[in-house]
Structure 1
Amino acid sequence: MTNGHHSDLPEVASGPAAAGETYQRFLTDLFGAIAYGQLSAFERMSSDARFSPTLHDRATLGRLAVHEYAHFELICERLSAMGVDPEAAMRPFQPSVDAFHDRTRPADWYESLMKFYVTDAISDDFYAAAASRLDAETNSLIQGLKATEQPGEILLSRLREALADDPRLASRLALWGRRLVGEALTQAQRVAIERAFLAGLVDGGGQEVLDAEIKRLTAQLTRNHSKRMSLLGLTA
């Protein structure tokens, strides 16, 4: 999913991406994380669509879910072309992603929409930053995931309508958004550290440089989130 702010993201490396085995491991992790994220998004959207207040909303979430699954299949095809089993690539990320979703169960349909709006956009920002200095083919693939439809814009429009219809939602959704961004940033940092996710893209400097890159990326993810909340008229 996209949010329209990818150009604001920092580059995560100052030189060409590393070649060879380390780079292949990085790509396997990157695609594995994206694939499982897309599969999880498909499952959540499909499941939550049944709580939609109108048939139009239900159809809209269903259409977005189909896009997520198409992206999942596309990434799995790329992993297979690399000679990697997609399930094996996704498996390391399954426990932490599932735990994240268990910790952030929406209380109703509106919180569900906000969760899609916030967490999927942060994931997009994270992967776009990681892909910004990769080989052209990989970067093109990841950027292409957001080229078809703009789910972030659709969710933004629907959330604005909901807030206009019931202003009492504002304080609850603002609080929920703050909780979601905290959990999502913790999750992104955990992935980056546990899987040495950005290590293959940082040119030398060891752990200190990697830590600085993670902090810089986290700060930019937070800024982008604040912009998205401002578009809803909510305080991040």
Structure 2
Amino acid sequence: MRPFTLTARTLFACMMVAILSSCEDRQTSDLVLQDRIFTQYELSFDPGLDQTTAVAKFSIGSASGDGLELGGNSEITFNGSLLTLGTDPITSEPIYETTFDGLISGGTFLFQDTEGNQYSNTVSMKSVDFIQTPSNINRSEDLTIEWTGGELGASEEMTVDFLLAGSSVSNNPTFVTDEIGATSITISSSDLLSLDPDTYTMSLDRWARPTPTETPAAGGAILLHYQAEPLVVDLD
């Protein structure tokens, strides 16, 4: 009798069964206690694409809990538009999202669980843009970046990143301020000198994490993200 061996076709079949099984193993919200559902909402604006994206994620017990697909008659909408099921490209967890053309600076996330309970959260993003930032930056001098869109409030922060022109990933530090009332951020010359002289795309991002107003007992989180139109700068 010949010994048993796995052919390429058999291996492929096994792999497909494993993949399908992992998809089927995803938990759905109708199989958990509804007050254990943790809700996460995100609204972001990308000026390069001129698009606003609304995202919702659901998990068991906390933000780090197992992800949930909505089951039964449960649904999530933003400004009345149903968010559709997808997969987070990083975590492979289920997410719900929809994209709008142009800027949608605010709106309402409305979540309905399988028992008909509804949780409404209205959000509003503050804008941001650069004010008179030079295109040539001397690394031996401190750089102060001012912005439009108003001062920082509680649970807000502003970040500045330098990405090498033509690159998609940055290994450089992110510069952050979360000082309440701030209307600018100063990057010291010592920090600038840690960057190689070159041409960079400089980004300015405003982040806000307001407290949700209505959630199941497990709680929830909200993230608002507004990107300024990036600038191309030369660091000398």
Same fold? TM cut 0.5: no
Could you say which TM-score interval applies, normalised by the shorter chain? Answer: under 0.3
Give me the TM-score of the superposition, normalised by structure 2: 0.22
Higher strand share: 2
TM (norm. structure 1) is: 0.22
Of structures 1 and 2, the one scoring higher in RCO (CA 8 A, sep 6+) is 1
Greater Rg, structure 1 or structure 2?
A: 2
